């Protein structure tokens, strides 16, 4: 009988549970609470299944937007890259054309014999007989510079004769000052290639070389020439021009003394033992020291050109616009007269 007691209890529990179900929630069993939780969970399942696709769709849309934005950025970057490449190719083509033009001009000049066997002689030739490209390029640039200076001189003369306005004269004067600045710029580049060529004045006519000072004109001498052509000057302008001449003269003297000192130290460096006591090693050491000292010549040429440039700029600041135009005209006529005198001297009949 004891074996079947659990069934009796189950039967009693079943009857009790039926009675409990017939009652209107008078009492609540743990099993019923569990059943209710299962019902609520089952009711929640459809809602979760409905909300999950919405979230998934939103994430998909966000991913699609990111992909589209990234594709648009890639297309824009590719477009810019193509534009840069096109500009670079155009720049290369332009440089190639300029190089071809420069080579053609060099060949034309070489055929005319201006460099080889001409006035430059051996100074432009290396051991292999090739032309110094830096000097050849400067010769062409300086030739163009002289042509443009002649054009500017004619324009200034025409403008002054036509009583042009101060604004027109101001534009011509500024263009003339920039033209001289350009000459100093290309000289600085050439000095690095062959400073002796610039200092010798082989790029100028013989008459211009007669007045040469460290690769160009003496500012103080040129200021005297200009001031005589600019009268009448006011008393204040006269004092300013005189002071500028004195300052230029002092700076010229300082540079000349420095150049003399360089020549002296260079001579002392090259003075070697006449009996060769110290041998070849000491000789090569002397040459190395001398080479180092010669590099200072570039600085001397640049300083001299800077002094010339400052003299022109200060003169422009002292004078009025119309006086500056007259001064540049006088300067252009002065150099043209020197070049003409050289041509006449070269073509003079033999005595």
DSSP state of 348: P
Helix (H, G, I), strand (E, B) or coil at 321: helix
What percent of the chain is modeled with pLDDT above 70? 72
CA neighbor of 139 nearest in space, from 182, 82, 197: 197
Nearest-10 Cα torsion for 233, 236, 241, 243: 160
Mean pLDDT of the chain: 79
Question: Regarding predicted confidence, which is higher, 316 or 96?
Answer: 316
pLDDT of residue 268: 86
pLDDT of residue 124: 47
- Domain limits, the chain: 115-208+218-346
pLDDT of residue 93: 78
Question: Regarding predicted confidence, which is higher, 86 or 277?
Answer: 86
pLDDT of residue 158: 96
CA neighbor of 190 nearest in space, from 138, 152, 236, 229: 138
Confidence band, pLDDT 50/70/90 cuts, at residue 302: very high
Confidence band, pLDDT 50/70/90 cuts, at residue 13: very low
Confidence band, pLDDT 50/70/90 cuts, at residue 272: low
End-to-end CA distance of the chain: 167
pLDDT of residue 100: 74
Query: pLDDT of 111-157, one tens digit each?
Result: 544 443 344 444 444 333 455 778 889 999 999 999 999 999 999 99
pLDDT of residue 46: 47
Q: Which range has the worst mean pLDDT, 146-150, 186-190, 286-290?
A: 286-290
pLDDT of residue 54: 53
**10, pLDDT greater than 50:** no
CB 13 within 8 A of CB 5: no
pLDDT of residue 28: 45
Q: How far apart are CA 141 and CA 121, in angstroms?
A: 19
Determine the longest span between alpha carbons in the chain, in angstroms.
167
Query: pLDDT of 173-186, one tens digit each?
Result: 999 999 999 999 99
List the Cα angle 245/250/255 in 5-degree steps: 125
Q: Is the peptide bond before 232 cis (omega within 30 degrees of 0)?
A: yes
Question: Regarding predicted confidence, which is higher, 78 or 29?
Answer: 78
Of 56-70, 128-142, 164-178, where does the model show the most confidence? 164-178
Confidence band, pLDDT 50/70/90 cuts, at residue 31: very low
User: Can you state the angle between helices 279-294 and 296-318, rounded to 10 degrees?
Assistant: 10
pLDDT of residue 63: 78
CB 31 within 8 A of CB 16: no
Helix (H, G, I), strand (E, B) or coil at 16: helix
pLDDT of residue 313: 94
CB 169 within 8 A of CB 159: yes
């Amino acid at each position: 009988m004891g074996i079947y007691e659990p069934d009796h209890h189950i039967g009693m529990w079943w009857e009790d549970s039926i009675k409990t179900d017939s009652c209107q929630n008078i009492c609540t069993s743990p099993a019923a609470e569990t059943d209710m939780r299962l019902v609520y969970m089952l009711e929640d399942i459809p809602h979760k299944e409905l909300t999950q696709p919405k979230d998934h769709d939103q994430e998909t849309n966000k991913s699609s937007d990111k992909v589209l934005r990234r594709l648009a950025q890639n297309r824009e970057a590719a477009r810019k890259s193509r534009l840069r490449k096109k500009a670079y190719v155009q720049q290369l083509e332009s440089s190639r054309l300029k190089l071809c033009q420069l080579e053609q001009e060099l060949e034309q000049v070489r055929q005319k014999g201006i460099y080889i066997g001409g006035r430059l002689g051996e100074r432009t030739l290396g051991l292999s007989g090739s032309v110094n490209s830096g000097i050849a390029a400067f010769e062409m640039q300086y030739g163009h510079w002289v042509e443009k200076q002649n054009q500017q001189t004619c324009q200034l003369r025409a403008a002054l004769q036509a009583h042009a306005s101060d604004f027109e004269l101001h534009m011509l004067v500024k263009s003339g000052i920039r033209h001289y600045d350009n000459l100093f710029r290309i000289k600085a580049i050439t000095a690095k290639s062959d400073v002796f060529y610039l200092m010798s004045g082989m790029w100028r006519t013989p008459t211009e070389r007669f007045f040469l000072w460290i690769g160009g004109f003496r500012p103080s001498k040129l200021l005297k020439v200009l001031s005589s052509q600019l009268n009448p000057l006011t008393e204040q302008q006269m004092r300013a021009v005189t002071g500028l001449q004195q300052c230029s003269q002092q700076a010229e003297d300082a540079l000349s003394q420095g150049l003399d000192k360089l020549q002296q130290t260079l001579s002392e460096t090259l003075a070697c033992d006449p009996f060769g006591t110290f041998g070849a090693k000491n000789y090569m050491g002397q040459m190395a020291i001398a080479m180092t000292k010669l590099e200072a010549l570039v600085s001397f040429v640049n300083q001299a050109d800077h002094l010339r440039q400052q003299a022109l700029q200060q003169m422009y600041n002292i004078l009025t616009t119309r006086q500056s135009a007259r001064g540049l005209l006088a300067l252009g006529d002065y150099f043209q007269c020197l070049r003409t005198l050289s041509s006449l001297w070269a073509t003079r009949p033999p005595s």
